[in-house]
Amino acid sequence: MISAYTGTQVRHAEEPLLAAGLGDVLMQRAAHGLAVAVIRELKARGLRVYGSSVAVLTGKGNNGGDGLYAAAFLAARGMRTTAILTADSAHPQALAAFERAGGRVRHLSDAAPGGLAADTARADVVIDAVLGTGAKGGLRGSAAALIAAIAEARTGSAAPGFVVACDLPSGVDADTGEVAQPVLAADLTVTFGAAKAGLLADPGADFSGRVEVVPIGIEENFERPALRRLDDGDIAALLPRPERRAHKYSRGVLGVVAGSADYPGAAVLACRGALAAGVGMVRYLGPPEVADLVRESCPEVVCSTGAAADNRVQAWLVGSGMGPGDHEQLQRARDAVESGLPVVADAGALPALPDALAPHVVLTPHAGELAALLQRLGGDEDRAAVEAGTLAAVRRAAALTGATVLLKGATTLVAAPAGGVFGQSDGTPWLATAGSGDVLAGIIGALLAQLGSDVEHFGKAGVEPGARWAAVAALGAALHGKAGRAASDACLGGPIAAGGIADSLPHVWGKVSTLSNGGIRKRNSHSQPLR
Ligand SMILES: NC(=O)C1=CN([C@@H]2O[C@H](COP(=O)(O)OP(=O)(O)OC[C@H]3O[C@@H](n4cnc5c(N)ncnc54)[C@H](O)[C@@H]3O)[C@@H](O)[C@H]2O)[C@@H](O)CC1
Ligand SMILES: Nc1ncnc2c1ncn2[C@@H]1O[C@H](COP(=O)(O)OP(=O)(O)O)[C@@H](O)[C@H]1O
Ligand SMILES: [K+]
């Protein structure tokens, strides 16, 4: 599990060490980790360390101190180092160490910004150490103009070098991932003590590049993370596995209330997602012409009639491909929510459900649908506001509705009403294709049907009871993202259609499940050695 924290949590974790007079030790550890990461990245790109150039942009706080100490290490390794001091002061000891190591200092206040930006953009490595967790808002004044000019110079030409953010890209809010432009997009963010939540949520993640965490000795002092990400080991541990004596009903039946005359394909794609995600059986309820298409496309699906209450299932999927005029389907969706069973509620069901829900109801809006939901509950966020502050918006929706809320996007966030948030970023932009969300709803529905009643399962994987519905939804988002990526990889990085996500899921599932302790022999409960 990757755990991320707010800047305030990181500062609290540092406090005991600062009180013990270890502030400079922490900074040296951070700076050394940053320098090592820069050297590793240079080598990975086939560049020599000795003689390569590095420009470090510094502010007046400790973030600038980290950057200057790191540049001093790099100067000692033979790099040509320049520090551009963007503020009227700099961390005094770090600046002295940098100068002792032979680094060159330039002051933003003394230079023509255009020339300085052009020189900086040409460096093999640019380190952004202007603002860290102590930032109040974004870059201002001449520092903002310099960063904007460097960003522009780097986009205009095929910039040869790479950008490394020290702790976080300046202008990205460590707690929320909100972005105050201008921000210099990093290829690599080297962050200290723990990942910051804002690096793993959009839009901050757009600017963070790859994120590496440098341990600095504060790791024991953290409490509850602000955001968690399931890694492959967690996914392997959480995947349901059929018992040896399993039958289709014990493995879980998913009821699907989806599709309409206008969008019949959504029902098919939701069923295909569910079938690929290990469910024992899918029961479809919907208009006869949609049911015909479902039968034709997925003969495995059992099509039923009647009300939701007449059909025995372990979980429901409602809403994909439904509109406000689909009264009978919407009534089934409301009944499914009333049943008390786990429900994934997508698309057309979102505006039709009661305002007050429960954690076992997983809502799956995209940004536009989340804005509409928040507006209905008294907020004034539009789609752009949700996209500018995804973490805050998804938390607010979960708190207001009492449901688990999954916000779809490049990073998919899942908020539990009790407070925990998961953030998955396993996919590819090729997933932004019509019907992709229907497949996701099918996958989550299948997981709810299989795992919904198994509370202990989550405890074993380190997920507390209050966050287990969010963990199921995050597991679904992770599988969906990985399946989309695998489908695209199979076409050498080419485009995918939504059905391809479902098609590649079983293979992705099998591959990731081999990572569980015990390895490949534990992959299936029936592949036991003969006794
Ligand atoms: N506290 C510690 O012991 C450690 C801190 N570390 C580093 O220290 C950073 C936090 O340091 P600080 O608390 O000094 O904060 P920052 O270095 O983020 O910057 C704060 C300074 O910048 C000014 N400032 C704030 N917002 C500004 C804005 N929008 N425009 C211009 N100036 C602004 C403030 O007045 C303050 O002087 C972390 O991100 C990390 O890089 C690491 O060295 C590890 C140890
Ligand atoms: N840029 C992106 N990168 C990765 N995944 C994305 C991106 N954009 C969208 N997705 C994913 O694709 C799916 C789109 O779902 P949705 O918006 O409901 O589409 P539809 O309604 O057409 O099915 C979601 O799972 C979302 O997380
Ligand atoms: K920074």
Helix and strand numbers, DSSP H then E, in the chain: 18, 19
Q: Which of 449, 405, 413 is nearest to 274 (CA)?
A: 449
Question: Which one-letter DSSP state was computed for residue 241?
Answer: -
Lowest-confidence region among 24-38, 156-170, 448-462, 507-521: 507-521
Q: At a CB cut-off of 8 Å and minimum separation 6, what does 183 contact?
A: 138, 139, 147, 151, 169, 170, 171, 172, 207
156 vs 205, residue with greater confidence: 205
Q: Which of 280, 275, 347 is nearest to 314 (CA)?
A: 280
How much of the chain exceeds pLDDT 90, in percent?
90
Kindly state if the Cβ of 216 falls inside 6 Å of ligand 1: yes
| Nearest ligand for residue 70 CA | 1
Q: Which of 158, 518, 471 is nearest to 342 (CA)?
A: 471
Provide the 10 A C-beta neighbour count for residue 78: 13
Judge whether residue 527 has pLDDT over 60. Answer: no
C-alpha to C-alpha distance for 269 and 265, rounded to whole angstroms: 6
CA distance to 210, 338, 346, 347, 440, per residue, from 381 (Å): 30, 29, 20, 18, 25
Do 252 and 450 meet the contact criterion of CB atoms below 8 Å apart? yes
Do 116 and 146 meet the contact criterion of CB atoms below 8 Å apart? yes
Q: Which atom of ligand 1 is nearest to the CA of 133?
A: 39
Distance 225 CA to ligand 3 centre (A): 21
* Per-residue pLDDT tens digits for 352-409: 999 999 999 999 999 999 999 999 999 999 999 999 999 999 999 999 999 999 999 9
- Residue burial 364-403, b: 16+ Cβ < 10 Å; e: rest: bbbbebbbbbbeeeebebeeebbbbbbbbbbbbbbbbbbb
* Per-residue pLDDT tens digits for 290-339: 999 999 999 999 999 899 999 999 999 999 999 999 999 999 999 999 99
C-alpha to C-alpha distance for 175 and 226, rounded to whole angstroms: 8
Q: What is the mean pLDDT of residues 53-57?
A: 98
* Per-residue pLDDT tens digits for 464-495: 888 999 999 999 999 999 999 999 999 999 99
Q: Which residue is it, tokens 């209905």?
A: 376
Helix, coil or strand: residue 55: strand
What pLDDT does residue 522 have? Answer: 42
Per-residue pLDDT band for 456 (boundaries 50, 70, 90) equals confident
Enter the tokens of residue 334. Answer: 């409301």
Give DSSP secondary structure letters for 127-184: EEES--TT--SS--HHHHHHHHHHHHHHHHTT--SEEEEESS-TTB-TTT--B-S---
Average pLDDT, the chain: 94
C-alpha to C-alpha distance for 127 and 122, rounded to whole angstroms: 13
Phi-psi region of 424 (alpha: psi -120 to 50; beta: other; left: phi over 0): beta
Q: Which of 438, 409, 408, 429 is nearest to 499 (CA)?
A: 438
Residues with a CB atom less than 6 Å from ligand 2: 366, 408-410, 412, 427-429, 431-432, 434-438, 440, 480
Kindly state if the Cβ of 217 falls inside 6 Å of ligand 1: no
92 vs 158, residue with greater confidence: 92
What pLDDT does residue 156 have? Answer: 65
Distance 431 CA to ligand 2 centre (A): 5
Do 39 and 74 meet the contact criterion of CB atoms below 8 Å apart? yes
Q: Which residue is it, tokens 């951070």?
A: 30
134 carries a ligand binding annotation: yes
Do 222 and 13 meet the contact criterion of CB atoms below 8 Å apart? yes
Side chain identity at residue 491, one-letter code: C
The residues with which 303 forms a beta bridge, in sequence order, are 284
Q: End-to-end alpha-carbon separation of the chain, Å?
A: 36
* Helix (H) / strand (E) containing 105: strand 104-107
Q: Which atom of ligand 2 is nearest to the CA of 435?
A: 23
Q: At a CB cut-off of 8 Å and minimum separation 6, what does 224 contact?
A: 419, 420
C-alpha to C-alpha distance for 330 and 319, rounded to whole angstroms: 8
Q: Could you tell me where the beta strands, DSSP code E, fall in 204-340?
A: 210-214, 227-229, 253-257, 281-285, 302-304, 315-318
Give me the interface pTM, i.e. the ipTM.
0.94
C-alpha to C-alpha distance for 39 and 41, rounded to whole angstroms: 5
234 carries a ligand binding annotation: no
Provide the 10 A C-beta neighbour count for residue 515: 18
Distance 172 CA to ligand 3 centre (A): 9
C-alpha to C-alpha distance for 436 and 366, rounded to whole angstroms: 11
Judge whether residue 518 has pLDDT over 70. Answer: no
Judge whether residue 523 has pLDDT over 60. Answer: no
Judge whether residue 496 has pLDDT over 70. Answer: yes
Lowest-confidence region among 65-69, 87-91, 159-163, 330-334: 159-163
Distance 13 CA to ligand 2 centre (A): 36
What pLDDT does residue 511 have? Answer: 96
How much of the chain exceeds pLDDT 70, in percent?
96
Distance 183 CA to ligand 3 centre (A): 10
What pLDDT does residue 459 have? Answer: 86
Judge whether residue 519 has pLDDT over 60. Answer: no
C-alpha to C-alpha distance for 527 and 522, rounded to whole angstroms: 7
- Residue burial 98-121, b: 16+ Cβ < 10 Å; e: rest: beebebeeeebeeeeeeebbebbb
3-state secondary structure 15-39: HHHHHCCCHHHHHHHHHHHHHHHHH
When computed from its CA atoms, the radius of gyration of the chain, rounded to whole angstroms, is 26
Do 516 and 237 meet the contact criterion of CB atoms below 8 Å apart? yes
Q: Say if residue 506 is preceded by a cis peptide, omega within 30 of 0.
A: no
What pLDDT does residue 223 have? Answer: 87
C-alpha to C-alpha distance for 496 and 486, rounded to whole angstroms: 10
C-alpha to C-alpha distance for 149 and 269, rounded to whole angstroms: 46
Helical residues (DSSP H) of 301-388, grouped into ranges: 327-338, 367-376, 383-388
Nearest CA to ligand 2 atom 7: 410
What pLDDT does residue 526 have? Answer: 46
What pLDDT does residue 159 have? Answer: 64
Distance 494 CA to ligand 1 centre (A): 42
| Nearest ligand for residue 86 CA | 1
Kindly state if the Cβ of 131 falls inside 6 Å of ligand 1: yes
Q: Which of 366, 387, 485 to mutate to test the pocket of ligand 2 (most atoms within 8 A of CB)?
A: 366
